[in-house]
A and B are shown apart, each in its own frame.
Chain A
Amino acid sequence: MSHDHRHDPAKDDGPPSEHEILSRALQEVLEEKGLVTAERVRKRMELFEAEFPQRGSRVIAHAWANPAFRKRLLADGKAACAEWGLDLEADRLIAVENTPHVHNVIVCTLCSCYPRALLGMPPTWYKSENYRRRVVREPRAVLREFGTVIPDDVSIRVHDSNADMRYVVVPMRPKGTEGWDEEQLAAILTRDTLVGVALPRV
């Protein structure tokens, strides 16, 4: 049984905190009892690091480029992704589209539910108590703190992912992207635009 995670001082940032030690202890005890393997944990880490964060911008870029896919994505996000070859694992995806009249923004007030298999790990601000407290009650002011100004005549729709569904925003495709290929489109679909706190910029 390999324990290479025990000796990686290059990856540690200074002396370990109490919780870092606790986390390692939990993992090692579970490994020794045969309940998890280091290999499995390592593979999950790789998925979260390398695979999941790439997906969201590619899916939404494809929706921008392909109206039939967009329609299917909006009808049933998980099924559309599955047809496209993307397994979202446990995430049941609902895609919500921005229009000239509606801007969408996502939160999980109760914890940090987030479409991880599509976007990777949520950013620290998404998990922060102040985002969870305020975006449901004053979304316009919160968006301004992110440097995003939503015009007064555009309605805001906040989605609190409090149960079994996970959400992604389909931003409006900006002017100046005509004729762009999907790779170029994906490059402006940053994570923040897919959660709704930013708008794609050409």
Chain B
Amino acid sequence: MNRNPADIGGEAAGPIDPVDHGMKFWEKQANALRNTLTSGKLVRLDELRRAAEELGDRYYRLGYFERTTEAMRNLLLEKGLITRSELEEKIEEIRRRYDS
């Protein structure tokens, strides 16, 4: 029984879209941020993977970068590197920036 949503090798699946759809700007930046965190040893790649696996059913509902971003958030909160209120305030601030 697979409890790990990432452990999917061999499962039945539909067709593969063989076209590379590239990355949006924010995805490139998210990837660079992730890489900055791991190369700076603030978090481990293994911890990020584990955090993604802990998304459970949500794992399948999210796109690749959505998953890695949520995993990053959960891990940073878990490790106390950021606080929930700091993050929520910042999200609000960014939303206001876009609305103006």
Contacts and interface: CB of A to CB of B under 8 A. Distances in A.
A45 B28 contact: yes
Interface residues of A, number: 58
Interface string B1-35: 00010111111111111111111111011111101
A40 B10 contact: no
Contact of B39 (A24, A89, A160): A89
Interface in A131-159: 131-134, 136-137, 142, 145-147
B11 A13 contact: no
A180 interface: no
B9 A16 contact: no
Interface string B49-74: 10010000000100011100110110
Contact of A129 (B8, B35, B65): B8
B82 A33 contact: yes
Contact of B25 (A12, A29, A132): A12
Given A26-B76, A90-B39, A133 B32 contact: no
A22 B10 CA distance: 33
Question: Interface majority SS on B: helix, strand, loop or mixed?
Answer: helix
Contacts of A30: 33, 37, 76, 81-82
Interface string B34-45: 011111101000
Nearest to B90: A25
A22 B73 contact: yes
B19 A125 contact: yes
A26 B32 contact: no
A130 B6 contact: no
Interface string A1-41: 00001101001110111011111111111100101100011
Given A111-B6, A121-B23, A123-B20, A145 B28 contact: no
B16 A128 contact: yes
B26 A109 contact: no
A119 to B, nearest CB: 12
Given A129-B8, A132-B9, A124 B21 contact: yes
Interface of B: 4, 6-26, 28-33, 35-40, 42, 49, 52, 60, 64-66, 69-70, 72-73, 76, 81-82, 86-87, 90-91, 94-95, 97-98
8 contacts: A12-B25, A20-B26, A22-B73, A24-B26, A25-B94, A30-B33, A36-B42, A127-B64
